[in-house]
């Protein structure tokens, strides 16, 4: 049987719009996926940004008005990658138009916007909406998730989940919308990177009950377009010490780090979970390597605490034609995320790892609100129910 084709329209032809268009081009790498996907349309308010899409042969529609994509019956799904202050309006319009939506984080500029998007989903239950978070689709990250789910860690002692950048260490880097509260949101770096760091913890059921935050605006001005310094009023780094209580009585600290200024790190996503019986660590800094901890019998030595390291290879959630011993990278994780999104939309995800749900995205905003309040009160703040 031939897999049905899903036509995708992209709104926002910037960094992520182009990345997604390229990743979808590699769809034939997926083996026996239940759907075929192709990008057929693109929208950007800047007409020059559309030219790049001439290289994608399946793109037949280019427009500067996103309403054109929403009214086009040939488009099944839209991917919207625009400034955070535009999320609410565009996501709600896409949901009301009956399109499938892979939204970008932070899923609305703040909690109120996320609530309104969620309300639109409730009013249009036929809409299928998920939010983008690709890093957990690295094969090594999947191994960590499977190890945690196996129960091999025993009673949890602590978890640390991080997303770390360093490009803002360059103090001459010009201002852009991601560094201004009006466009990025009050949560600053948490809006940029927090959902990446919270996707796996929330999916594991590790929902913080309270937050103590350390938020830093390390670079309060940056050069504007004319070189004159202007206010750069968003938080650059956020360290959230959260308290997780599980239904079975376990309680442990979950530290969530999101940093634009983490010297030496370039898009480093990592997770470390330690329990009384085992541990796991994975970082995209060494993208193949997965580290596991156990107490084992060593010949001639006896019982020892041992960290072991293994190479994860190329295969993640959805099998691909790529040789198993090859490496996986950022664009592979994007393809895997889309494979999960479109399979789930078709009702065929099964027990495979899925994209961030609207409720999980909503929860990240409750956590950011608690972190913002903690920053002001310098106290531990309960995460709203």
Ligand X SMILES: NC(=O)c1ccc[n+]([C@@H]2O[C@H](COP(=O)([O-])OP(=O)(O)OC[C@H]3O[C@@H](n4cnc5c(N)ncnc54)[C@H](O)[C@@H]3O)[C@@H](O)[C@H]2O)c1
Question: Cα(19)–Cα(214) distance, rounded to whole angstroms?
Answer: 32
Q: For the CB of residue 170, give the shortest distance to ligand X in the complex, in Å.
A: 17
Q: Which residue stretch of 53-61, 82-90, 211-219, 351-359 sits at the interface with ligand X (rule: CB under 6 A)?
A: 82-90
Told to check if 11 binds ligand X by CB under 6 A, we report yes
Near ligand X by CB under 6 A: residue from 81, 109, 189, 244: 81
| Binding-residue total with ligand X (CB under 6 A) | 23
The one among 15, 228, 298, 301 contacting ligand X by CB under 6 A: 15
Residue 5, preceding bond cis, omega within 30 degrees? no
Shortest Å distance, C-beta 118 to ligand X: 17
Within residues 85-124, the interface with ligand X by CB under 6 A covers 86, 104-105
Contact flag: residue 260 with ligand X (CB under 6 A): no
Selected from 6, 10, 84, 270, the binder of ligand X by CB under 6 A is: 84
Structure tokens that stand for 336 in this block: 């895997």
User: Whole-angstrom Cα distance, residue 364 to residue 312?
Assistant: 29
Decide whether 66 or 353 has the Cβ nearer to ligand X. Answer: 66
Based on its alpha-carbon atoms, the radius of gyration of the chain, rounded to whole angstroms, reads 21
* Interface map 19-48 toward ligand X (x if CB under 6 A): ------------------------xxxx--
Task: Quickly list H helices, the chain.
Answer: 15-25, 47-50, 66-70, 87-96, 111-123, 139-150, 181-184, 189, 195-203, 330-345, 358-377
Q: Which is nearer to ligand X, 30 or 42 (CB)?
A: 42
Work out whether 192 is an interface residue with ligand X (CB under 6 A): yes
Residue 162 interacting with ligand X (CB under 6 A): no
Nearer Cβ to ligand X (132/142): 132
Nearer to ligand X, 146 or 167 (CB): 167
Q: How far apart are CA 188 and CA 367, in angstroms?
A: 13
- Using CA atoms, how far residue 300 sits from 292, 296, 297, 354, in Å, is 22, 12, 9, 44
Q: Which segments within the chain are labelled E, that is strand? A: 5-11, 36-43, 61-63, 77-80, 100-103, 129-131, 156-164, 208-216, 221-223, 229-231, 237-245, 251-259, 268-275, 279-283, 289-298, 302-311, 381-382
Is 16 near ligand X (CB under 6 A)?
yes
Enumerate binding residues for ligand X (CB under 6 A): 11-17, 43-46, 49, 66, 81-84, 86, 104-105, 132, 134, 192
């Amino acid at each position: 049987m031939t897999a049905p084709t899903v036509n995708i329209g992209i709104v926002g032809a910037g960094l992520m719009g182009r990345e997604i268009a390229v990743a979808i081009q590699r769809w034939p790498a997926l083996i026996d996926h239940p759907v075929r996907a192709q990008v057929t349309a693109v929208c950007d308010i800047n007409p020059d940004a559309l030219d790049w899409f001439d290289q994608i042969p399946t793109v037949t529609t280019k427009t500067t008005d996103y309403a054109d994509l929403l009214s086009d019956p040939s488009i099944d799904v839209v991917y919207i990658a625009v400034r955070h202050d535009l999320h609410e309006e565009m996501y709600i319009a896409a949901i009301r138009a009956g399109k499938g939506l892979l939204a970008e984080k932070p899923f609305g500029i703040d909690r109120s916007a996320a609530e309104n998007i969620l309300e639109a989903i409730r009013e249009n239950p036929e809409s299928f909406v998920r939010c983008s978070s690709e890093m957990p689709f690295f094969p090594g990250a999947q191994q960590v998730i499977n190890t945690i789910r196996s129960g091999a860690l025993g009673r949890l002692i602590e978890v640390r989940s991080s997303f770390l950048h360093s490009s803002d260490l360059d103090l001459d880097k010009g201002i852009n919308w991601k560094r201004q509260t009006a466009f990025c949101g009050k949560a600053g770096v948490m809006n940029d990177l927090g959902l990446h760091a919270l996707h796996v913890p929330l999916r594991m059921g590790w929902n913080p009950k309270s937050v103590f935050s350390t938020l830093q605006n390390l670079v309060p001005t940056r050069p504007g377009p004319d070189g004159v310094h202007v206010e750069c009023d968003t938080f650059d780094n956020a360290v959230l010490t959260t308290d997780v209580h599980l239904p079975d009585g376990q309680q442990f600290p979950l530290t969530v780090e999101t940093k634009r200024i983490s010297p030496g790190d370039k898009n480093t996503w990592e997770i470390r979970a330690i329990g009384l019986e085992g541990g796991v660590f994975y970082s995209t800094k060494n993208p193949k390597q997965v580290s596991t901890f156990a107490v084992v019998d060593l010949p001639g030595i006896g019982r020892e605490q041992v960290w072991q390291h293994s190479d994860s290879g190329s295969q993640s959630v959805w099998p691909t034609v790529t040789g198993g011993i090859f490496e996986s990278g950022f664009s592979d994780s994007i393809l895997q995320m889309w494979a999960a999104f479109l399979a789930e939309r078709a009702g065929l995800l099964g027990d495979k790892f899925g994209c961030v749900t609207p409720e999980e995205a909503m929860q990240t905003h409750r956590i950011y609100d608690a972190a913002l309040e903690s920053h002001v009160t310098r106290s531990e703040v309960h995460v709203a129910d």
